Amino acid sequence: MGESSIERLVELEREIARLQALQARALAEYSASRDDAADVASEVALGLAVSENSARINVGLARDLVTRLPETLDALSRGDIDLYKASKVSEPTSVLSDDMAREVDAAVAGRLAGRDPSSIRRMVSRTVHKVDPEGAAARAEARRRERRVELRHGDDAMATLTADLPAEVASAADARIDRCARALRNAGDQRTMDQLRADVFADLLLSRTPGGGSSRVEIFVYIDLASLVGLSTNPAELAGHGPLPASIARAIAFDPNSTWRRIITDSHTGPLSMSAAPATGRPPSPPTTSRSGTGSAGSRPATALRTTATSTTSSRTSVAVRPARPT
């Protein structure tokens, strides 16, 4: 397929997005004309020959775009993003008030084009944490109270076991599974990595020892210094997951089993140097008082701390203190 054909595909995709914007406006207008009645979704489902659940999602997204996310709707109208990408702005902002949702919408405007859906959602999630840090912390605590394990039986003598866990716990567990699986693979095991990871997962749950290697794993949490000491509520970031409320990151950093190592970083280029035998020690007691604030990206310390925390599950958590990520 030649370059001209790719350009044609891109233009067709932009045209589809522009039509999706027109449909979203029409859906929102129809819903408003019915005073957003509960049976609007049923009528749309019947007219478009789609499921009622699909119609309900589309009507809700259309309302959000028209009333709460005008900048995102403009990007859709220009063909910069499609409707699915627009939903990645709507979903993380659904927990916010109208005013806060518009603030997030304005903050990400102009940065949506050229991003894939996952990148858009990560960017919007970070912005939601910055706009509503207290709400983000409260939602995280509420979700943690809902942690659970679920078994779903499938066909062909298979079943699926899932767990809703705090992000840092799930990341550490996944890293441990991966490390054990790679150790077996490097030792000559002929199972695929998917098979090895599944079997290691089962072995660990059933108290069977998977083959060889250290069971210690690392996860990385990044937080700016002001948030670490409780002077700011800038979100931290768990590598491979995304934003964490500052309160949760502080709890991880000040875990009594943690060990801290000093590194020197530059706010723009990252680590500058780290001694071969860096200074180590237990973390200090957490601050007894904290003052909430928005933090300042202009205050950029050159010295950072990376901590290594050893939990009861033999996982290690590295917490790197760095300047706040710009929005």
What is the SS3 assignment for 286?
coil
Q: Give the other-Cβ count within 10 Å of 153's Cβ.
A: 8
- Domain range spanning residue 27? 3-131
Q: Write phi, then psi, for 35 (nearest 5 degrees).
A: 55, 35
Tens digit of pLDDT for each residue in 220-246? 778 888 888 888 888 888 877 788 888
Give CA separation, 175 vs 92, 169, 209, 220, 311, in Å. 26, 10, 16, 11, 14
Which residue, of 131, 164, 186, is where some domain finishes? 131
- Contact between 48 and 88 (Cβ < 8 Å): no
* Residue 293 pLDDT level (bands cut at 50, 70, 90): very low
Q: 223 lies in a domain?
A: yes
> Based on the domain organization, do 159 and 246 belong to the same domain?
no
Tens digit of pLDDT for each residue in 78-108? 999 999 999 999 999 999 999 999 999 999 9
Structurally, the chain folds into a number of domains equal to 3
- Contact between 95 and 135 (Cβ < 8 Å): yes
Q: 144 lies in a domain?
A: no
DSSP 282: P
What distance lies between CA 320 and its chain's CA centroid? 18
What is the pTM assigned to this prediction?
Answer: 0.70
- Contact between 282 and 254 (Cβ < 8 Å): no
> Based on the domain organization, do 103 and 175 belong to the same domain?
no
